[in-house]
Structure 1
């Protein structure tokens, strides 16, 4: 992700210039913000935030294994003065019409919810997902993926970028803000540390269903210090292809499901090409927003045996205009169309089942007051305007925007190789993002939305 230009902070207070029509006057209404004091507090606490990040990255919080990381977040929120609760994920969340298909049982798994302030309006919600994707082939990493390593301005480790660096940024912003201006939260600041963002969004959905909502939500995902305001729809499917197994000496007379799977992949590539010939305006600037990814492929158990089945797990990015139901119908049709040229597939159609995301696309207007405030705060802190951009993927912001009428966007640090080998986050961008976010939070509570 590209890094916007950073510049020294400017002094903003009563009578200061307005950016996007917003007067950046955080904290007590009508008083002056001492930005130097705030930025000094951020600098003083940066190493503590990096230490928190190291502990969090060292907790291998893959889906179903989030407890250790959630306890670390819980302790940090309590240290910052939040009232904290564990919100259990209902076992029946998968039956919710807005839910994705659960990957593992929810028994014993929970979100962490923190509350800071007097409990009144205005309210602001920070949301981060503690789950991370698996670290495939750790031997390919320079260092073990769950042993965080610092090298210059970078911290390496699975989840360092996506999105535990965002947790560190948010905690640093709140820590410094409360130190520089005690009592700054004249309302309700909520923090939701959720599970399953990487596969369903059910953690955020469960919290929202339980009433963990606010006037607006900010998700410190790794956006490169830009504003992420839109995402495509996402669908996960499992496809099981059945062949006719045999000894390899009779392979010419058997039916190999691997060969059949390649025919199906060809049809999926055709769907991908078709989708990308008509890119919706919200994805402007993204050359190829709709991707079909064959995430896993498994077949066979012996070189001299023709396998009986092959299983593909696929992820399809699709236009926002498609509902989850329409997306699934179109993808199913593409898969089954392989039977037009392969009689075996026509007579023995593959089994197709939903597995994970059933996410609609989403978009926040670039001129939404929340986007304006975050952009103005970034410019005030760094002297350059951030971009408002879309993503060829999804985030939990879609749940707030699509289903609960809560304005939401993502703003967070600069990360490299997320979901890949040697994932990392730039530590200086955590500090830079905290400078922006502290200004956003202060402004939000000093100048409530209804006053803007």
Structure 2
């Protein structure tokens, strides 16, 4: 199992699949899945200059009532377990700073280096090999196993998982459990499973002033001075207290721009970019309303554009978290912690169709960094954890 996962992982890393390029990863994975009885369906989407590769692959097992003509959705009284993930990776950055070519998988010491090693090609390889091993031992397993894979997770995420979910929803496809292969482990493999994620709401605030000479402030209106008290209040506002699963909602300013570059000109406009990472105790609507009320109370002339990147999702303790928790403990001896920290993931889209979604994968210490890596001694245990989870849910 270890050799098989490592070999597939190296093949995946060697494909330079920078968003939205898949670089043949889905063809490689699809061929492996087809060989063990999966039906493959490509759901590619997007314009020609940003074409996204998507794959939906399903293996129907015992207890699945599929239509004989193959048309329409299958109705599965037994569970449908989905492995989800992305083949795309972030750009490498300065190649001169890498110790080895990021698209040549390289072993140094006890680590395998390469772009995507942690995020998330190790998980993809482990999922595929775990399923191959499981199906080989249990060809008549109950329920269904599926893969939902995209090359548009690290990018704008407009033509990837979100498109697939909508197509599956439109035809009545049922999903019961989903494991997203995001790198969630912090100190040791298995110490953290994500059972939810915070929402992400961004704003671009334009505060309108009147440009003028710094020596004649009475003839101008400085938007920086006007906005400063409001921004200070936004920074210290308590938006909610969080709950048992989520930390409190946070507000962060990411960019501020004003001025012409000259030292003797009062700017005519201030532009502020900010972001909320919000818990289920707040909604996009409530946050928008509170921000607008605060800005208006400060008497600002402004325009504010909002972008909702994702709403929060939460999977309470249930069959899926119990199954993967038991698999982790059996393999590593660790009692995993359920967490909702971190950024957004494609789980936010899948959760709209699937009632139980968790994320689990290898160490996340090196994701998106120069010299991204995965510890070699995590590859086989991760594969076995995925296989044990299959056994816990489908036998």
TM-score normalised over the length of structure 2: 0.76
Correspondence for 1:113: 56
* 1:164 partner SS: helix
Correspondence for 2:289: 329
Give how far 1:374 is off. 1.0
Correspondence for 2:309: 357
Correspondence for 2:245: 282
Give how far 1:438 is off. 1.1
Give how far 1:261 is off. 6.5
- Residue 266 and residue 444 in structure 1: after superposition, are their counterparts in 2 closer, same or farther (change >3 A)? same
- Residue 251 and residue 144 in structure 1: after superposition, are their counterparts in 2 closer, same or farther (change >3 A)? farther
Candidates 411, 414, 436, aligned match of 2:385: 436
Correspondence for 2:137: 181
Aligned partners of 1:60 and 1:146 also within 8 Å: no
1:246 and 1:137 map into 2 onto residues whose CA distance is 42
Q: Which runs of 5+ in 2 are unaligned?
A: 65-75
2:94 and 2:256 map into 1 onto residues whose CA distance is 16
Give how far 1:363 is off. 2.0
1:157 and 1:249 map into 2 onto residues whose CA distance is 56
The root-mean-square deviation of aligned C-alpha atoms, in Å, is: 3.8
Counterpart mapping for 1:38-187 below 5 A? 42-56=1-15, 58-61=16-19, 66-69=20-23, 71-81=24-34, 82-89=38-45, 108-118=51-61, 120=64, 121=76, 122=78, 123-132=80-89, 150-156=107-113, 159-178=116-135, 180-181=136-137, 183=139, 185-187=141-143
Give how far 1:298 is off. 5.4
* 2:58 partner SS: strand
- Residue 232 and residue 242 in structure 1: after superposition, are their counterparts in 2 closer, same or farther (change >3 A)? same
Give how far 1:219 is off. 0.8
Q: Which runs of 5+ in 1 are unaligned?
A: 1-41, 92-104, 447-452
Give how far 1:87 is off. 1.1
Candidates 382, 385, 396, aligned match of 2:332: 382
Give how far 1:429 is off. 2.3
* 1:282 partner SS: coil
Give how far 1:409 is off. 1.0
Correspondence for 1:229: 195
Give how far 1:378 is off. 1.8
Matched, 1:408 2:365: no
Give how far 1:177 is off. 3.3
1:304 and 1:145 map into 2 onto residues whose CA distance is 44
TM-score normalised over the length of structure 1: 0.68
Candidates 195, 205, 209, aligned match of 2:166: 209
1:142 and 1:300 map into 2 onto residues whose CA distance is 41
Give how far 1:357 is off. 0.8
For these two proteins, the number of residue pairs brought into alignment is 367
* 2:14 partner SS: helix
List per-residue Cα deviations over 1:394-426 (Å, max 9, x = no partner): 43334444x335211111111214355554433
Correspondence for 1:190: 146
Counterpart mapping for 1:222-261 below 5 A? 222-224=183-185, 225=190, 226-245=192-211
- Residue 407 and residue 298 in structure 1: after superposition, are their counterparts in 2 closer, same or farther (change >3 A)? same
List per-residue Cα deviations over 1:284-304 (Å, max 9, x = no partner): xx5xx5333344555667566
2:269 and 2:11 map into 1 onto residues whose CA distance is 45
Give how far 1:52 is off. 3.0
- Residue 51 and residue 197 in structure 1: after superposition, are their counterparts in 2 closer, same or farther (change >3 A)? closer
Correspondence for 1:10: none
Further displaced range: 303-312 or 368-377: 303-312
* 1:281 partner SS: coil
- Residue 259 and residue 48 in structure 1: after superposition, are their counterparts in 2 closer, same or farther (change >3 A)? farther
